[in-house]
Amino acid sequence: MKKSLIALALTGAFAVSAHAQSSVTLYGLIDTGLVYTNNQMGHSNWQLNSSSTQNTVFGLKGTEDLGGGLKAIFKLEQGFILNNGAQAFSGDMFGSQAWVGLQADQYGTVTFGRQFDVMNDLVGPLTAEFNTWGGSLAAHPFENDNLAANSVVINNSVKYASPTWYGVTFETMYSFSNQTSFASNRSYGFAVSYAQGPINLAAGYLQLNGAGNGSGAVQTSDASANFVAQRQRVWSLGGNYTYGPVTAGLVWSHSQIDNASGVFSFGTGTYLGSGDNSAGSLAGSLRLDNFEANVKYALTPAWSVSGAYTYTHGAYNGSNPGWNTAMLQTDYAISKRTDFYLEGVYQNVHGAPEGSVLSHAMINTLSPSSTDTQVAVTVGMRHAF
């Protein structure tokens, strides 16, 4: 009898130990709000909008301790539209993220699957458009540099992230086209960051070959591609400094888009410029330099105010269009998981060729204006679980 009790106790102990060494977590974020826009396709508009600041998602993530500082990890995440429950990435069961990998304390992490790119991982957090205190509405024109929170997701990718050494972290990735024409629709990039005390610095490079052209690393079928182009190259550099309740930052990015034929409009759910549409045409090479200044001030642990201004200088078919994008937000958290925000965004474009997509202001997540100016104000709430 005693032997049976001892065996039962040992079995229970091992079960608890095994359970402690592995875990699976259900998580998510819901973002919804009412948005007023002064001009969408020539008309003012009130709408219930999903993901105005952050992607609305749910997912599963897990880890298993393999011993010796080695872990198996995974994440499966689905983005969705709260208004009607539709998939944010049409046709993808786990369109936001789907990857598995190994993590070693000493050597870093290798992951495989559908993932966010390395520049978005390390440089993105220095921008207002990536964070809750700015978010998707505050993105640079056409989200041309992929620094907003997790909008472009890349298929067939292998990513390596180093451990942090003296505040320095390095990431690199390669995404296969998975086609016999090896370079047809592939992607690669690298990024490095430094965080020590109040200082955060980061820089990165991302290249997309043939994005949106058929299947491969970045596709139009699920709206992962921001541009349909022969090649897109993005350089970025940024930093911020925290002093007490204030964090201020500067970010520069350069996007070089060769033989562009279309740009995705989150508001209309279509690719503008790639056919006959009221927003105009897009054909040729496009160069965009984004200069962002941002600041966040925590008035109390629960209440914050933030702002950002981005000037974007462009070069397109002999013209030099320019965009002014400004954002102001105030946010109040009523708990650790629930907060409310009020945000306004202004965008104006000048110098763009008439009849092109570029001549219309288009705040991210909204349909384009019929003029060169667009203003949006949203009041919303977020809940994390």
Please give the backbone phi and psi of residue 148, each rounded to the nearest 5 degrees, phi first.
-70, 165
pLDDT at position 245 over 80: yes
Rounded to whole angstroms, the Cα distance separating 259 from 231 reads 7
Give the number of residues written for the chain. Answer: 385
Please give the backbone phi and psi of residue 87, each rounded to the nearest 5 degrees, phi first.
-70, 135
53-91: b or e for each residue (b if 16 or more CB lie within 10 Å)? Answer: bbbbbbbeeebeeeeeeebebbbbbbbbebeeeebbbee
pLDDT tens digits, 213-243 = 878 999 988 888 999 999 999 999 999 999 9
- At residue 278, the pLDDT reads 65
Between 167-171, 207-211, 372-376, the lowest mean confidence (pLDDT) is in: 207-211
CA-closest candidate to residue 208, choices 250, 153, 290, 253: 153
pTM confidence score: 0.91
pLDDT tens digits, 5-21 = 444 444 443 344 444 48
pLDDT band at 252 (very low <50, low <70, confident <90, very high): very high
pLDDT at position 340 over 50: yes
Angle at 49 (CA atoms; ends 48, 53), nearest 5 degrees:
140
183: which residues sit within 8 A by CB, 6+ positions away? 177, 209, 210
Question: Rounded to 10 degrees, what is the CA torsion of 27, 83, 97, 273?
Answer: -160
- At residue 32, the pLDDT reads 97
Where do the domains of the chain lie, and which CATH numbers do they carry?
30-384 (2.40.160.10)
pLDDT tens digits, 280-316 = 899 999 999 999 999 999 999 999 999 999 999 999 9
pLDDT tens digits, 139-160 = 999 999 999 986 789 999 999 9
- At residue 279, the pLDDT reads 78
